[in-house]
């Protein structure tokens, strides 16, 4: 068998259904192998960054490992952003890149770049394969490392001559990685201590993050919350791990989280962190974060525990197991939430007192109105997956969309990668063809990766992209307005260029333009009914700011709410 065929056999044996990529010189033998036949569907992207984000969207929607394939040099460097994104958000990804021939490595050959070197700080591990005999073991290890422990990206860089080399293919059953030992158990003593702390708490709060989704521990979390009557806040990355409409779910804390979620987290006496990493966007000023709370920190990654906030009770191990065992332990000691009944009442009061709000103005289309319309229009659909870019629209999506199922909200959290939304949506659609996949995007984000509309159209992976078009790099504009004396330098994109509906049609997609609230519902309904990829250009108020807001470096309790006064504009 040739090395190139071995790569495909390995993907098949690892259960890969879809891979995303673009061919080029150093990976050509592997694309030639695709011509010889494989059960893996290859989706041809228009840019390697698109391929990488598609693989991420696929992974996040399915829970499987995403696979991206690219050539050497610029192919590999274009994958750097998705790799960094997957690293920050713990998305399991196997990137396979071609490399120049072994004999040319180190000579600055055409399209040679040190792919393993460039990506070293942003992968769990990487391999440069220069001997075809190593290929099966490396691929086996790559998938194993990507999906075990804290999930994340790996890179396999394969020299072109290795892809062309003939050898006897034998895929190993076991990995040979003596240094890779992610925790598989949870310390019973730590669990017992956690249960005791919960039993003693007066104001407990669960702080659930993306790790719950990665660990496939959503049912266990729900059981814990239900059985112990524990209130919870859920981060941006965790959205969907606990149903948004669950009465004990107080939504997202953090920079643009609700006041009640921030207060719930910061005024608690016990923070039960589960697969969350005390990101600065959640904590605000760390010294002022949850000052009266003891912290129990559940995580698969020991390095996250105690990194930002000291954990009085660290519990390192797989969350699925840990949460199930914790529910058992708490069930024996807790008293059906009675101990913290006043706290639950307080949380309800805050929720009623500080809802998300914005001021409607006659004749002005507010972005929040578009999100509400989207939410209502999709409410009766069985399976909806949302993706977003990064910025104001992402925060409004977090605030207004209701996600009651795991893996229904796919976003770029840690890296904050503009342009993530469209390709991630395409990847999600490839993973779950029966789902309605909607990308809520900003106009700035959309322009970073909209070439992938071609992929969506030609690969028959229909998505709906709703561009919250305020004509600006909106979040940057908001910071300029609030913190840079309204000097709006280089943030104005304009509503009109490009004409998104025409652009969509140029790519073989359906295009809709919404200029006022009256056109909103018809356009969105039209997009959902289009039967092909559709782009809805929703031209919104350019001045609307995203609230609530915790200014960078401020204490999270000092969250600024939307202004009270009626805003009157011409």
Partner 1 sequence: MSAHTISVRLENKPGALARVSQLFSRRGYNIHSLAVGPTEHKDISRLTLRVDCSEHSLEQIEKHMHKLVNVLRVTELRPDESLERELALITVSVNPERRADLVALSQVAGAKVADVGRDAMTFELVGRPDQLDAFEELVRPYGVRELVRTGRVGLRRPSAGGRTTTPSVH
Residue ranges in contact with partner 1 by CB under 8 A:
116-117, 120-121, 124-126, 128, 141, 145, 149-150, 177-180, 183, 301-303, 306-307, 316
Q: Which position among 110, 120, 133, 483 bears the catalytic label?
A: 110
Active site residue 160: yes
CB of 312 to partner 1, least distance (A): 15
Q: Which position among 160, 259, 294, 545 bears the catalytic label?
A: 160
Q: Which position among 1, 12, 111, 285 bears the catalytic label?
A: 111
Cα 216 to Cα 252, 321, 467, distances in angstroms: 20, 10, 31
| 204-208 β-sheet, strand order | 232-234, 204-208, 270-274, 294-299, 313-316
Residue with smaller CB distance to partner 1, 117 or 508: 117
Residue with smaller CB distance to partner 1, 306 or 337: 306
Active site residue 110: yes
Q: Which position among 418, 448, 475, 549 bears the catalytic label?
A: 475
- Three-state SS for 97-160 is EEECCHHHCCCCCCCCCCHHHHHHHHCCEEEEECCHHHHHHHHHHHHHHHHCCCCCEEEEEEEH
Tell me the C-alpha distance between 278 and 276, whole Å. Answer: 6
CB of 308 to partner 1, least distance (A): 10
Task: Say if CB 10 and CB 139 are below 8 A apart.
Answer: yes
CB of 305 to partner 1, least distance (A): 8
CB proximity list for 160: less than 8 A, separation 6 or greater:
25, 26, 27, 28, 29, 98, 99, 100, 101
Task: Say if CB 160 and CB 99 are below 8 A apart.
Answer: yes
Q: Which position among 14, 48, 304, 459 bears the catalytic label?
A: 48
Tally Cβ neighbours within 10 Å of residue 246: 15
Residue with smaller CB distance to partner 1, 196 or 307: 307
CB of 100 to partner 1, least distance (A): 16
**Helix 188-200 vs helix 319-333: crossing angle, to nearest 10:** 50
Active site residue 111: yes
Q: Which of 214, 539, 551 is nearest to 407 (CA)?
A: 214
The token pair at 453 is 């509309």
Residue with smaller CB distance to partner 1, 135 or 228: 135
Active site residue 124: no
Residue with smaller CB distance to partner 1, 36 or 185: 185
The token pair at 519 is 């056109």
Residue with smaller CB distance to partner 1, 37 or 121: 121
Residue with smaller CB distance to partner 1, 120 or 506: 120
Q: Are strands 125-129 and 93-99 parallel, antiparallel or unpaired?
A: unpaired
473-477 contacts, C-beta under 8 A, 24 or more apart:
473/391, 473/442, 473/444, 474/391, 474/392, 474/393, 474/442, 474/444, 474/542, 474/544, 474/546, 475/390, 475/391, 475/392, 475/395, 475/546, 476/391, 477/542
CB of 117 to partner 1, least distance (A): 8
CB of 127 to partner 1, least distance (A): 9
CB of 318 to partner 1, least distance (A): 14
Active site residue 475: yes
What is the set of active-site residues?
48, 110-111, 160, 475
């Amino acid at each position: 068998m040739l090395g190139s065929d071995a790569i495909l056999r390995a993907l098949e044996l690892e259960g890969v259904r879809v891979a995303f990529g673009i061919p080029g010189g150093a990976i050509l033998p592997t694309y030639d192998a695709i011509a010889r036949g494989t059960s893996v569907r290859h989706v041809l992207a228009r840019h390697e960054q698109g391929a990488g984000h598609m693989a991420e969207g696929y992974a996040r929607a399915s829970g499987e490992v995403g696979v991206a394939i690219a050539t050497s040099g610029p192919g590999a460097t274009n994958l750097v952003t998705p790799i960094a994104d997957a690293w920050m958000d713990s998305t399991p990804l196997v990137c396979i890149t071609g490399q120049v021939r072994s004999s040319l490595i180190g000579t600055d050959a055409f399209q040679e770049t040190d792919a393993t070197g460039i990506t070293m700080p942003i992968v769990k591990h990487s391999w440069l394969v220069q001997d075809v005999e190593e290929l099966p073991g490396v691929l086996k290890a790559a998938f194993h490392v990507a999906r075990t422990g804290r999930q994340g990206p790996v890179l396999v860089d394969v020299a072109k001559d290795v892809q062309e080399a003939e050898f006897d293919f034998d895929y190993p059953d076991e990995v040979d990685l003596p240094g890779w030992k992610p925790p598989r158990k949870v310390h019973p003593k730590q669990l017992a201590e956690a249960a005791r702390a919960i039993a003693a708490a007066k104001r407990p709060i669960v702080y659930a993050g993306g790790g719950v989704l990665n660990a496939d521990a959503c049912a266990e979390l729900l059981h814990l919350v239900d059985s112990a009557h524990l209130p919870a806040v859920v981060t941006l990355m965790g959205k969907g791990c606990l149903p948004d409409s669950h009465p004990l779910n107080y939504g997202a804390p953090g920079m643009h989280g609700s006041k009640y979620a921030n207060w719930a987290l910061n005024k608690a006496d016990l923070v039960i962190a589960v697969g969350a990493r005390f990101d600065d966007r959640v904590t605000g000023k760390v010294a002022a974060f949850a000052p009266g709370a003891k912290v129990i920190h559940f995580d698969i990654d020991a390095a996250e525990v105690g990194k930002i906030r000291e954990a009085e009770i660290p519990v390192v191990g797989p969350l699925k197991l840990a949460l199930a065992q914790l529910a058992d332990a708490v069930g024996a000691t807790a008293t059906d939430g009675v101990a913290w009944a006043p706290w639950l009442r307080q949380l309800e009061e805050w929720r009623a007192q500080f809802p998300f709000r914005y001021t409607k103005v006659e004749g002005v289309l507010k972005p929040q109105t578009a999100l509400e319309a989207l939410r209502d229009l999709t409410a009766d659909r069985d399976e909806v997956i949302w993706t977003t870019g990064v910025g104001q629209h992402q925060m409004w999506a977090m605030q207004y969309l209701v996600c009651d199922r795991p893996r229904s909200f796919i976003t770029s959290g840690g890296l904050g990668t503009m342009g993530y939304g469209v390709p991630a949506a395409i990847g999600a659609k490839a993973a779950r063809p029966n789902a309605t996949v909607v990308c809520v995007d900003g106009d700035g984000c959309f322009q970073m990766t909209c070439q992938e509309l071609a992929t969506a159209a030609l690969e028959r992976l229909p998505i709906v992209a709703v561009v919250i078009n305020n004509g600006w790099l909106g979040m940057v504009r908001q910071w300029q307005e609030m913190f840079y004396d309204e000097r709006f330098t280089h943030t104005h994109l304009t509503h009109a260029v490009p004409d998104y509906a025409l652009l969509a049609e140029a790519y073989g997609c359906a295009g809709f333009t919404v200029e006022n609230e009256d056109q909103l519902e018809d356009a969105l309904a039209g997009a959902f009914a289009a039967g092909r990829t559709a782009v809805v250009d929703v031209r919104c108020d350019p001045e609307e700011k995203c609230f609530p807001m915790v200014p960078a470096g401020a204490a999270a309790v000092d969250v600024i709410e939307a202004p009270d006064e009626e805003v009157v504009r011409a």
